[in-house]
Chain A
Amino acid sequence: MSRRRTAGTLFQSKEDTNFKEALKLYESKQYKKALKLVDTNLKKKSHPQSLALKGLLLYHIHAANGKNEDPDNLEPKSYFQKALKEDASNPVINHIIAIFYRALPDYTEAAKYYKLALDNGSENRNIWKDLAVSEIQLRKYKNALAARLQVLNYFQGYRANWTGLAITHHLNKNYDQAEKVLTGFEELAEGKLSDPEFVEHSECLLYKNKIIFESGDVKKALKNLKEIEKTVFDHLSVNEYRATYQTALGDHKAASITYRKLLQRNPDKTDYYYLLEASLGIEQSNITKRLKLYNKLEKFYPKSDPPKVIPLMFLKADSKEFEDKLKNYLISKLQRGVPSVFKTLKFLYKNPAKVQVIEKLVLEFLDDLAQKSKLDVDPTITVWTLYLLSQHYMFLGDISKAEEYIDKAMTHSPTLVELILFKANIAKHKGQLVEAADIVNSARLLDLQDRFINCKATKYYLRADNLEKAIEIASLFTKNDDAVNGLKDLHLMQANWYLIEESEAYFRLFKKAKNALINHLNKIDSENIEFTPELSREVKDEIDEVQKLKGLTLKRFNSVVKNYKEFENDQLDFHGYCPRKGTPRAYISMLNWADGLFNQPLFMRAVKGMSEVYLSINDDIVNREASIIYKYSEIIASSASKKSKNKNKNKTNKRREQEASKIIAYDHDLDVFGEQFVNTDEPIEKLNELFSLTTDKTSVFYLKLSFLIYIIQGKFILAFQSLKNAKDILVDPSQAILPYYLMKLVESLKNNTDPKLEAIKSMVVKSISSVFKDFNADESFDVILTKFFKLSEADGLENHYFYLKSTKLAGKYDEAVATKILELINKGKIDRDLNLDELVILKDYVEANGSEDCYWI
């Protein structure tokens, strides 16, 4: 922070002295003391700088007690407004506000105020650095460049600033400029580098080389590589770059020599083998030549897997070479009792003929073992062979055989944890989640020290909706301090795997409780059951439970979202740190990672879950009058006397307090039950906010969700656009969901009475018929569906699933298809394309006769 005054003042006022002192205290994190000084300043007359500092200090004081989590807490901002009102162009005030926004974090605002501070004449040159960092965080590379140019201008003596500028040029794709800046420093430093600086130097040289390559001048990059080779420590990169450049330049002979060098360094890296083949110009179809090459390589690197495994891919399944090579590989692995054989051979399972050869060989091998006299055989070989067979049959979807072999293996070696875990996996695939969890737990009891099994058991219990057991087990490995369990620690440690599973469990429990409640109320309603005070209390408890589960669902999902935002935020330090440490290449790859952060599957799971809940909250708001839950909530609210209300409240409060201690997520958590999420009047705005974080706008999920949001918002053109895009990327059988959405669109168009939208609506109607030629809104749904999608007897689970989903979405439920699905599941015919979660949900859903809502939107 600037302690410099804009104008030199000889006579400092008392206020200014206090303010300076307060700033010092702020910097040493003594916020309360600083606040006292600032308050003295503000007691008598106005001192705008103190007002601004007060805002910042309050923010930090609130941070210690969780008050900042409260979105209604606008106190700090109100002081900034006052300060700005009195002296908007004061650079110190601007700077203080920028610091606040950076801590918040809101980088757009932070950048704005840093810039204002500079524009208003702040001479604190460090602000340029902070501005650059904020702009990079915002991915506004152009603005960042302007700032970094200033930084270098002011602080030329540090390599970090040269590297930082080069990086910023690079991010702006100004390759020449980036190179020039790096060369500029190299020339300055020529002959002046000390020993410890050489690692950084080496990295920067390689970085420059990469930039030259990216600029498109491959020849120059190759030449440069030769020049820097002696100075660079990372020989692996040098050779990898060289091989790439040689290949790009068409010098395949040279490239092949480089790849051979690389293979010598690391003969276990599969990529090198393929790249070597390519550089040797061997055609993929020329099996004889490839085999010769790999036979040679196998002799060179007898201990490495790739030269043994790759030929299994290209050799024909019915060839003798294939069988021989497979046999050698398989048997040598089994004889050494390597548990991971299946994993390495999995890639062969795309080819059914090869799968048969594997099966034959392994069964033969097992037979041979049985023939030998017992003491000549290592029993662990037998057990790993049985394990392999179980995995093999499981992969083929033959669950009963898989079970047969895993049971044999477990009888043979009941203390072998891998077997037990696989047994649990099979149970999970059969949808027996409770059994599966207990099986994993039995493995956990064999080794309580093993964190991996502990996590597995936790996860399995979460899948089985047994939250209590899950947290009990997880808490054995967390830091619990004064808490009753490890939940707070799991939040603190950002254990997303736990949080997402728990969110989804809450979500399932919420849906289950809600359905039970609706069924209960419908029964009361239709059978005219007398609504006695006891029944009223019972129903109220059920309603409260549903609300609680809904809140916790959103709360937990949101903690995942929060963690991802924190990951994003964590980049901040690296914008400055990496140029300083001289690791620009790692830094660039970190930026790429961060760019894809909000598309990561785990994050998307949170978005999916939250979006469903928010959409259902929106439904509840829109259809309030028709909702039976609402009806009874009203009855209960009006009938309860004030006295009993208070009494009940006290009772529930006590119960809640007890419960809160088990599910509290953060220290100073002001909203343990997530009520803040549930009680929103603007679910769609909340959803949009969340949704705007995802940057991959081409996934089916994204399109579906955006469609639903647009419909609610009456943005019909955009809704149509989403469907059109979805049509392009959806392949059969998932196209079966399109008719439903089209019908939904047509329906919303019909229901919309806004005269201003007439022109738009008729345009959308026209577009529908031109893009979806098979779709005619006047035809019945069944007819439309068959046009889009034909289901045949022989189709697999996934096809049936989509079909059923589509009919269900349209308010129908196809019994015949449902029966077929159950039959397929029970037979163990598991579709590879359908992931396990979906399968389990599907089974529940079908078994409940479709009464439960579809999981997917």
Chain B
Amino acid sequence: MARKYYHDDPKWSDVAPLPQEDYGHHPLAAIAYTEEYSEAMGYLRACMAANEHSERVLELTEHIIGLNPAHYTVWLYRAQTLSALNSDLRAEIAWLNPTALQHLKNYQIWHHRQTIIDKLGSPDGEPAFITAMLDQDSKNYHVWSYRQWLVKRFDMFDGRELKWTEGMIDDDVRNNSAWNHRWFLVFGGTVGEGEKVERDVVVRELEYAQDAIRKAPQNQSPWNYLRGVIRRSGLPLSALQHFALEFADPENRPDDDVFSSHALDLLADIYAAAGKTELAVKALDLLATRYDPIRKTYWEYRKGLLEAEGRKEETGAASAAAVETAAA
């Protein structure tokens, strides 16, 4: 992009730029600005100080955003200018599209976009733009957060959105952002917090996650989803025992016959809840030593909890026996 200066631009001849103060001889984190940026910022300060909201301010803010998209007040100032000028907001979105693609990791841009789309009152074109963004980075946090806002703002909790999300998961079954979006659609929309989820929805979600696990048993996203559904619907974890045994069975199958560490993890919890401490310990041992040794200390900790629990019960039983003996 060609450099742009203001000091010899007749359009700006009436403005005296405000140079940056840097407070004495010991500035902290001083940056070697380019001349272009320094000058543009001087004109921005002058405009802000005069509360000027004009077409040329839109150009100036556009220029500065190109050089420093994380400048938080420049976005707020631009939004205020658009509103003061009653500008065409569709044109603003048309400008934002390539700008967002240039600055994938920037947050402010999404906040600004949200403000504009909210005022426009229509999500037209937004899903297509989001798809273009996700083509660049399918796990971009800001984009998924923005998509949630869009769904809520325009009540898009319908089958189409769920279908689109399934497409994203089909593209990459390990895309945890897509899994999370599914959770949001199913449990964050029409179903209220703490409200009972319909049985057929629970069955559908369990089956969906289980199918995905069968495709890629070591992918943690659907395992987390599965546990989430069980907890949300109030079912006991043991409802998953049969499924988990497809991938590991410390009780009946040899130790090298394991297809997913997450199945062992789940079984450890199921066994522990059923009081089958020995089997739970075995599952945790397999994790610590063979199937997930990078979390060795974590699995050991879980084992420690089970053993402490066991001791407590023993002491409890012993003292109960003592009480009985004393009473007798």
Tell me whether A and B are bound partners: no
Partner-B contacts on A (CB < 8 A): none
Partner-A contacts on B (CB < 8 A): none
